[in-house]
Chains A and B, each alone.
Chain A
């Protein structure tokens, strides 16, 4: 429900709507974009970052919140930990139950590998299930993998690993066919033609969608297929540490999140598909990410020697919900802008083309609020700008908002806001880690036996990902990782010994760098309890 004060401000947006209907807003020039990013995007602010003092990417800058989890000790004491009882002995261990993990597990199992998936929460609890807007793929006659590739490179500031970007665009049609055959309910015309639209930074309409539950529909289908094929799965089991034999990863220590016991997995190959780190709340930003997005896989991989790529770039999604307070930081899908939604300031004037790349769009919103002071301030003090959704109804007809973005419509309806009749308030939210563990086009990290797929991996998207390329990424590299890990495992007789020498060495390096054991990582879950409660917690049963 809007307050009377906000309803009063909405009148100014309504007053300019007719004029804006057919207004063409220009794209920014390359120079203007650069100036905007340098002035207002958090990635360009020195105080956000710290140089890592230990590990394979020592000297690289990451956001301070990330550096804190890398520069932390394990909760396990590697000198005392008993690894003698092996509970699971498998070919391929898949860590993480999102889109990348499920795609990897399905493909590895199809190749005959003995697979085990472990996940900290439930199968499907992931950012994949929350992805709304779509999945890219150059499958229309006016499009090609090369055009897709160019959009990705330009959007990623030409920092992308060319081999990875190429794998992404060239696998896209096959991945879409795979999903279509599995029974994902894509939006289609009556003759089967995929309904495709634009996303920020696309030069062709290649965003395929399943209404605004695209990731949800994909995830539910992959999950169903995992269960149909009876692929071994342990839920509420976090990997707390990888196990090694020399420089090779040979398994993992599992932590049962409910009983608190540990279990030992021996695996010939291991795939990290653990997602990102939105719940680290870089700079205190709200996040659109799911509860388990605490960067665990990055920490696990880093400790065994996997280097990082572009972990100095975080994607702030330009349109997080800024009001009402209860949904602060939740995503308002980019699709709202793809189908015609317009961003305006307090005066009802547009100030940026709606489908600039996400980093540019987010920087423009921050500038409008902090630099030009033309934002709106919500009752809780949150800066915001308007996203005029009513204009979609004017252009596409009455009922278009509810039909095209039903999840969004319902989200606002729950709080008494009809986004077909009133604009909504938005502000950037921490959405995606553009970088991650370094991989090659087979999803291999430089550490033998260790693969990474999905948001935990880096290099594909350069320093800024485009909408719809993450759902694509998780399926493309999930499948590649599953195939390559299964093939490698097939050529290995036994996984090898299980040890924690890498952790001993890491602890020695932390100590040598003067880092005190005040924090433990991986984090596993964020802390949202009231500090007053946490301070008085005594944990007598534990």
Chain B
């Protein structure tokens, strides 16, 4: 593993909610092109960790670096512009916009052209074209001009990812991208994720172990706010502690 370029690094991250330690001395490092999974039982602090990394929450202590630069104190929007994007476990979309509008907006925010109130939206041909390409890549081309709220749930999950991709992320944090999606569809959704450009580093939270073992090259196990183990899938699968606290029965 030596010589691998680390894109996202967190050191000694700490976060307390009152007396509850939700993040305890967490250190993670994500190399370029990673496909890492973040697993752990409910309440392990997985979403909190994503919120800390992306700036929705401020850590009590610790340091976060993106491509070598300190981003610990940056606002969420600023981190996104530096290449750190996320999706949400619960759909956080624009219900009354169409996918083409929503993704075009994200593209134009990235290009810093969204404030141009004097120019017609339709005149920004490049942004619209790029947005369409992203939607096409995720299989959403046919519904590009349908109102988001009317889309089937699975397509709304894909739109979550499309919005994140439109920011041209270097690092993509996916908070249970397949949450609420039927098992057969979630495999298709992860096939899309696996097919993302190889220079994007991906860290995803997922509960379905079959999917985790299939798509992750490395697994971080979070328990009680701290990292229990970080290793390749085979090691995690056979680790007795992981079996005990997380896999439990059914995988035993």
A and B bind: no
